[in-house]
């Protein structure tokens, strides 16, 4: 049975249990460890929360040095990269560094995995997220820009992509339970969508 491993942000932590259920019999599901720690504060990238592209690259580099191998590796980062300082407007990870990190993530992931799949970054609700007392901001336009950069990098390396951004946007603002996270119903739909995309990739001969 193929191994399916996920390195992603808190969105992936929340749809993960449903995805694990849906792929039973087809994949041996696993993800970056430390869910209990990550769930204590989903805005803080610890444990199972992959964090920004610096952190994802560091994690994958460490795993590669250990000789870890995957059949199918699902990767995402972006929501933490676009965190914006309210005072300076600086991004946690500037766009060009994000691009460079993704290039390196693809290179090392292809050494570790038979199949690499990129999950597009989901959106943020500015009117909920960006309060006056927010320690960091997120903007819809940044999600679009960083996703476009990721698309360019993945296409240049012929990496398969699952457009979770477009899929989830169709449900509107009522899909959210807070500033970036989703209701249980939407988490289940996201997992079903990802499962369908995996099945489609197999049918198309990508695996």
Report the DSSP beta bridge partners of residue 150: none
Report the DSSP beta bridge partners of residue 137: 84
Buried b (16+ CB within 10 A) or exposed e, 138-155: bbeebbeebbebbeebbe
How many structural domains does the chain have? Answer: 1
**pTM: predicted TM-score of the whole model, two decimal places:** 0.95
Residue 144: pLDDT over 80:
yes
Residue 27: pLDDT over 80:
yes
Q: Which tokens is 43 given?
A: 């805005």
The string of DSSP letters for 104-128 reads HHHHHHHHHEEEEEEEPPPP--HHH
Q: Which tokens is 179 given?
A: 């500033």
Residue 203: pLDDT over 80:
no
Structure confidence at residue 134 (pLDDT): 82
How far is CA 62 from each of CA 2, 44, 58, 59, 111, rounded to the nearest angstrom? Answer: 22, 21, 6, 5, 13
Report the DSSP beta bridge partners of residue 96: none
pLDDT, tens only, 66-77:
999 999 999 999
2 backbone dihedrals φ, ψ, rounded to 5°: -65, 145
Domain that holds residue 43: 2-203
Cβ–Cβ < 8 Å for 161, 198 = no
pLDDT, tens only, 29-49:
999 999 999 989 988 999 999
Q: What CATH number should be reported for the domain holding residue 14?
A: 3.40.50.1110
Q: Which tokens is 44 given?
A: 């803080």
Structure confidence at residue 158 (pLDDT): 96
């Amino acid at each position: 049975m193929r191994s399916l491993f996920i390195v992603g942000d808190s969105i992936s932590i929340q749809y993960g249990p449903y995805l694990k259920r849906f792929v039973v019999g087809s994949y041996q599901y696993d993800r970056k460890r430390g869910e209990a720690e990550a769930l204590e504060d989903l805005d803080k990238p610890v444990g199972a929360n992959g964090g920004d592209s610096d952190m994802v690259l560091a994690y994958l580099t460490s795993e590669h040095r250990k000789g870890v191998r995957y059949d199918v590796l699902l990767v995402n980062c972006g929501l933490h990269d676009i965190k914006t300082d309210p005072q300076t407007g600086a991004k946690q990870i500037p766009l060009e560094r994000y691009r460079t990190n993704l290039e390196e993530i693809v290179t090392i992931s292809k050494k570790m995995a038979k199949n690499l799949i990129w999950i597009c970054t989901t959106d943020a609700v500015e009117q909920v997220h960006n309060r006056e007392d927010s320690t960091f901001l997120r903007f819809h336009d940044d999600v679009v820009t960083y996703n476009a950069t990721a698309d360019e990098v993945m296409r240049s390396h012929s990496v398969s992509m699952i457009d979770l951004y477009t899929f989830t946007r169709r449900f509107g603002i009522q899909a959210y339970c807070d500033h970036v996270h989703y209701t249980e119903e939407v988490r289940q739909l996201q997992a079903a969508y990802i499962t369908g995309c995996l099945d489609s990739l197999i049918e198309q001969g990508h695996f």
